[in-house]
Amino acid sequence: MLTITRRIPFCAGHRLPLHKGGCRNLHGHNYVLRVTIVAPETKEGMVLDFADVKRAVKGWIDENWDHAFIADRTDRDVLNLIDSMDMRRYIMPEGPPTAEGMAEHLLCDVLPDLLGPLGCVCIRVEIEETENCVASCSLDNAEEMMLPRHGGATA
């Protein structure tokens, strides 16, 4: 199987409201996203042109996550603060904005809609919070990508 992986850096803030350590506080990361893509057949010897991946995936990241606060939908105090300051925010559809949750959300909910029309499937997403801390989510069966679990929410 041929795959390609595109690296997409972005900056965002978040907090983990139920965490017992420092991540309970408002903070941010210089994230690095890596998406690994497969297609049933190559076109011109490529799974997909890297420029097309950049246009689709980085476009979504820039519009939704880059320089935004990624929030837990139940974290009303932070959401009210962000709204009072007229800041960009993205509300996770389920659970806190952990690197693991962000990777799963992208793989299962966002990327099927972005990459399906291009004739390919994302089989792995990695979210690097720091150079030492990386979370990933992957599919064993690319057909699973055709069945998104739930939708995301932007505000």
Residue 146 lies in a domain: no
Query: At CB < 8 A and 24+ separation, what contacts does 48-51 make?
Result: 48/4, 48/115, 48/118, 48/119, 48/120, 50/4, 50/6
Residue 154 lies in a domain: no
124 confidence band (pLDDT: 50, 70, 90): very high
> Tell me, what's the pLDDT at 62?
98
Percent of the chain past pLDDT 70, that is, above it, reads 90
Phi and psi angles of residue 137, each rounded to the nearest 5 degrees, phi first:
-140, 135
CB half-sphere exposure, 13, CA atoms < 13 A: 14
Query: Would you name the residues annotated as active-site residues?
Result: 23, 67, 129
Residue 61 lies in a domain: yes
At 8, list the tokens: 């997409």
110 confidence band (pLDDT: 50, 70, 90): very high
Q: What CATH number does the domain containing 131 carry? A: 3.30.479.10
Residue 8 lies in a domain: yes
140 confidence band (pLDDT: 50, 70, 90): confident
Token pair 């246009």 is found at: 55
* Angle formed at CA 22 by CA 20 and CA 24, multiple of 5 degrees: 65
Lowest mean pLDDT across 12-21, 36-45, 50-59, 138-147: 138-147
Lowest mean pLDDT across 3-12, 114-123, 133-142: 133-142
Is residue 146 pLDDT above 60, yes or no?
A: no
Residue 153 lies in a domain: no
- Selected residue with higher pLDDT from 141 and 54: 54
Is residue 131 pLDDT above 80, yes or no?
A: yes
Residue 118 lies in a domain: yes
> Tell me, what's the pLDDT at 153?
44
Mean pLDDT of the chain: 90
* Residue 68 domain boundaries: 3-140
How many structural domains are present in the chain?
1
Q: What is the pLDDT of residues 35-93, one digit of tens each?
A: 999 998 888 889 999 999 999 999 999 999 999 999 999 999 999 999 999 999 999 99
Residue 23 lies in a domain: yes
> Tell me, what's the pLDDT at 112?
97
Residue 21 lies in a domain: yes
